[in-house]
Every structure is written in structure tokens, then in C-alpha cells.
Amino acid sequence: METNVFADKLELARFFGNYVAELSKQQKQVNIALSGGSTPQIIFDVLAEEYAEKINWQTLRFFWSDERCVAPSHQDSNYRMAERHLFSHIDVPEHNIFRIKGELTPEAACDDYIHTIKKEVTMTEKWPVFDLMLLGMGDDGHTASIFPYQIKLWNSSQICETGTHPISGQKRITLTGGVINHSKKIFFLVTGANKAEKVREIINKTGAYTDYPASKTDPAKTLWLLDKPAAQLLNK
């Protein structure tokens, strides 16, 4: 898999900002699925501070790779994080934001999001085609909200599934592997030394890497954006 290693999170965020700025100028419509977590939060802050005038926000349409089953005002909400750190600081049309309605029951939220995606995103056969899929990786190797103990969700025939956090039991709505791998481009945003061991196993295809959902993306489409701490074990 292709990897880019950056000195720090700020350098990584600027690479991403430049990529999105160029994409926003090349296409009339760009469908992006965002992820939650601490790394995207830093990237959103940089986009808001340094790219508010460099990106054509009118062309970007925002979705999510996963969401916690909570209200949009809840501190755990991926939508809330994006709204606070990005959307409230830029000129993005409200009708270009398609959140997962985590305040509904998991079943209703999943069905609603499937309907939204089918309506708003170009479909190829049974799968939507996102222009850019942003993913993070947990230190257990999970991505989106597909955890190792529920790795079968990756191969679901559905656009969305309901995942369950293995410790808290929190319900989450997640896109499945078919959606992720039909994206035109997949970015893994991974920072921190606590991710280094899983990064090494997945990139080098060693250890129990096949047990990790993060190892299942199409390598021809996947770019890993790593800071130095996350990449520190790659050559060992």
C-alpha cells in the first residue's frame, strides 16, 4: 500500500488541504465521506484556519464513514466535531451536508442513511461511488465502525450496518467494505505511536494483519497518511 510519512500532524493536514483544494477546482461536485477521531479534528482546524479561501467549498458535499448513535449535539457525535471545527468556520452550503441521524434508532438511522446515499451519490451497480473516503484506524485495527470481532460486517451486502463498540457497547452506524472499496480514493489518516504496531503489521502484511478491518481496503486506491510516530516501526 502507498504511504506518505509526515514530520507532524500539521504537515499531514496541509498535504490533505492541498489535495482537497485541487480536487475542488477539478470537479463540479465532490462527494467526501468524513471520519471522526482526533486526527480529523486537527485537519479540520487547519482547513478552517488556512484553507477557508483556498478551497471551493461550494463543490464539496460531506457524508460520513460512520457515526455514533447519539444526538448531533452530543459530545461523541462525529457530526458535532466536524461542525464545530470546520463547518462553522467556512462557507459551505447547508444542503451539502448529509449527516447520519444518530438520534434515531440504529435501524432507522441505518435505513435513512442508505436512502440518502442512494439519492445523492452516483451508484455503480449496487454500490455508491464516493470521490474520497476518509478513514481512521483504532489501535485495535478497526476502521469506520467495523471492529475486529465484527469483521464480517466488512463483507456485508448492505451499504450500511450497525456496529457495536466492543467495550462500551455503544451502537454505531458504519459504511461497509463494499462502499469503502468502491470509492475513487481512500485516505487513511493515522497519527500517534499507539498505532505504530498495527500500521507495521498492515503495511508489511505481517502478524495477524488479516484480522484487522483496516487491512481490507483496496491497496490500489489506498493512501496511508502517517505522522512519524505512527510510522516509526515500518522499517523494523
Is residue 76 assigned to a domain? yes
User: What percent of the chain clears pLDDT 90, i.e. is strictly above it?
Assistant: 97
State yes or no: pLDDT of 236 exceeds 80: no
Average pLDDT (122-137) is 96
State yes or no: pLDDT of 169 exceeds 70: yes
pLDDT in the model for residue 235: 82
Average pLDDT (147-156) is 97
Confidence of residue 24 (pLDDT cuts 50, 70, 90): very high
User: What domain count does the chain have?
Assistant: 1
Average pLDDT (189-212) is 96
CB 14 within 8 A of CB 46: yes
What domain range is 64 assigned to? 2-231
Helix, strand, coil percent values for the chain (each to nearest 5): 40, 20, 35
State yes or no: pLDDT of 141 exceeds 90: yes
Confidence of residue 38 (pLDDT cuts 50, 70, 90): confident
- CATH number of the domain enclosing 176: 3.40.50.1360
DSSP 139-204: TTS-BTTB-GGGGGGGG-SSSEEEEE-TTT--EEEEE-HHHHHTSS-EEEEE-SGGGHHHHHHHHH
Is residue 127 assigned to a domain? yes
Residues 6+ apart with CB under 8 A from 128: 117, 118, 121, 122, 159, 179, 182
State yes or no: pLDDT of 129 exceeds 90: yes
Burial 119-155, CB ≥16 within 10 A → b, else e: eebeeeeebbebbbbbbbbbebbbbbbbbeebbebbe
Cell triple for 67:
457515526
Q: Is 33 helix (H, G, I), strand (E, B) or coil?
A: strand
State yes or no: pLDDT of 195 exceeds 90: yes
Average pLDDT (40-48) is 95
Confidence of residue 18 (pLDDT cuts 50, 70, 90): very high
pLDDT in the model for residue 11: 96
User: What percent of the chain clears pLDDT 70, i.e. is strictly above it?
Assistant: 100
pLDDT in the model for residue 16: 97
pLDDT in the model for residue 1: 79
Average pLDDT (61-69) is 98
**Torsion (CA) 36, 130, 72, 38 in degrees, nearest 10:** 10
Residues 6+ apart with CB under 8 A from 3: 203, 223, 224, 226, 231, 234
Is residue 209 assigned to a domain? yes
> 170-185: per-residue pLDDT in tens?
999 999 999 999 999 9
Average pLDDT (29-35) is 97
Is residue 236 assigned to a domain? no
Is residue 18 assigned to a domain? yes
pLDDT in the model for residue 37: 81
Instruction: Tell how strand 66-68 and strand 123-124 pair up.
Output: unpaired
